[in-house]
Amino acid sequence: MHKKEIKNIKKEYKEFYTQFIHIDDNTFSIHININEDIKSKFLNLNDNKDNILILIIKLHSNCFEVLNKNLEEQTKYFESVENIFNFFCPISFKIFITKNIENKLVDLVHNLYKNKKWAEIKLNKFDTINNIKKKIYGHTGTLSNNMKLYAYNELDIENTQIYLKDDNLSLNDYGVKDSYIIYIHEVNPAFHNDDIYNIDDDKKLENLKHLKYEINDEDYDKRPDSFRKFIQKIRQSQKNAEKAENQENQENQENQENANKNICNGELCNSNLCNGELYKVGSRCRIKIGDRRGTLKFVGNLKNNDVIYVGVDLDEPLGNSDGFYQKKKIFECKGDKYGYIGNINSIEVGDFPPFDIMNFDEF
């Protein structure tokens, strides 16, 4: 009785044959498309109108008996299915093998994760077990040195168990087939009994309590790179940012109040603060906050209130505008972020040339 073996052959080579027919528990037939390499080997097949090679295969305890139905010649005997295909259609079979090198699909199970299965992982069947372990590490996180691998057919565990012991051999050397289970047993040199508790098993994890590392608060606070210190730095930086923002808001409010005091009936007053000669378009100026420098391009009202605003074409893209206000262009500047719009009291007019980046005394 070879039902299971026939079932495996049908599944593993389904991309190679065109039709698979069960004849009895030990016999089946395979239909293969005839191409040039088959025709060159069996010249009589040139007259085959269906262009199909039909092989009748019977399984014995130690070999395969094969009849080429197209030629009705004497039966031949082979040790494996691969030998059959290599004899009747060598080039086609080689192409099939090459295309399917990466198509060895296996399921992974792990001794630490009893409720987890990695289904249909593609592995190169000609890759060494050492390289297979490296690939499995990417899926499970288990180091290759801490890994023992076993393979088996889930439908026939008793007769198919394989210990993949030699790292220099391949899955193909061990005869691992599609849909096999690769069982990963993780071991740890720290445990003399070569055992690790199941991560999914809460009861067994209770036994690991004695391995818990503890440190008191005093010793922990002495560490310069602790997580607690990191959180403290983050919180302090947030406080500093809030403080700077509040200070800037307060300065803006004071500037607006000062500007309102220097407005006379909606017109610029004649004081030095709002003097037309002092705030002359084209004058050099600087933004007080950040010492950003540029050329004054606009002085006037923007919001139909008593506040006077200025527009500055900055030397560097450190501004808040591109010269437009509410989609209306109010002054020319070099581009985005080169414009600055703000309260008139936020700038200082005077001899403020562009910074010379080669003069380090300016910084």
Same fold, 103-186 and 283-349: no
User: How confident is residue 43, by pLDDT bands cut at 50, 70 and 90?
Assistant: very low
- Residue 212 has what pLDDT? 59
- Residue 359 has what pLDDT? 56
Stronger pLDDT, 169 or 44, i.e. the higher one: 169
Stronger pLDDT, 71 or 47, i.e. the higher one: 71
Can you tell me the mean pLDDT for 279-306?
A: 89
User: How confident is residue 267, by pLDDT bands cut at 50, 70 and 90?
Assistant: very low
- Residue 85 has what pLDDT? 86
Residue-wise pLDDT for 167-178, tens only, equals: 998 888 888 887
Burial of 311 from C-beta contacts in 10 A (0-12 / 13-18 / 19+): buried
Share of the chain above pLDDT 70, in %: 76
User: How confident is residue 272, by pLDDT bands cut at 50, 70 and 90?
Assistant: very low
- Please give the CATH topology (third level) of the domain spanning 103-186: Ubiquitin-like (UB roll) (3.10.20)
Q: How confident is the prediction for the chain on average, in pLDDT? A: 78
- Residue 266 has what pLDDT? 37
- Residue 173 has what pLDDT? 84
CA-to-CA distance for 163 and 113, rounded, in angstroms? 20
Q: Which range is least confidently modeled, 38-52, 100-114, 257-271?
A: 257-271
* Cβ–Cβ under 8 Å, residues 201 and 161: no
Cβ neighbours for 263, distance < 8 A, ≥ 6 positions apart? 269, 274, 306, 307, 308
- Residue 263 has what pLDDT? 39
Tokens for 136, please give them.
């499995």
Provide the residue ranges of all domains of the chain, joining segments of one domain with +: 1-100, 103-186, 283-349
Tokens for 305, please give them.
């209130």
CA pseudo-torsion sign 166, 169, 170, 173: negative
Architecture of domain 283-349: Roll (2.30)
Q: Per-residue pLDDT for 59 more than 70?
A: yes
Residue-wise pLDDT for 296-316, tens only, equals: 999 988 877 778 999 999 999
- Phi and psi torsions of 213, nearest 5°: -95, 130
Stronger pLDDT, 209 or 177, i.e. the higher one: 177
* Cβ–Cβ under 8 Å, residues 263 and 305: no
Residue-wise pLDDT for 95-148, tens only, equals: 776 665 555 678 888 888 777 778 778 887 778 899 889 888 888 888 888 899
- Residue 187 has what pLDDT? 81
Stronger pLDDT, 73 or 109, i.e. the higher one: 109
- Phi and psi torsions of 29, nearest 5°: -125, 150
User: How confident is residue 343, by pLDDT bands cut at 50, 70 and 90?
Assistant: very high
Helix, strand and coil content of the chain, in percent to the nearest 5, comes to 35, 30, 40
Share of the chain above pLDDT 90, in %: 20
Can you tell me the mean pLDDT for 310-339?
A: 92
User: How confident is residue 199, by pLDDT bands cut at 50, 70 and 90?
Assistant: low
CA-to-CA distance for 309 and 145, rounded, in angstroms? 71
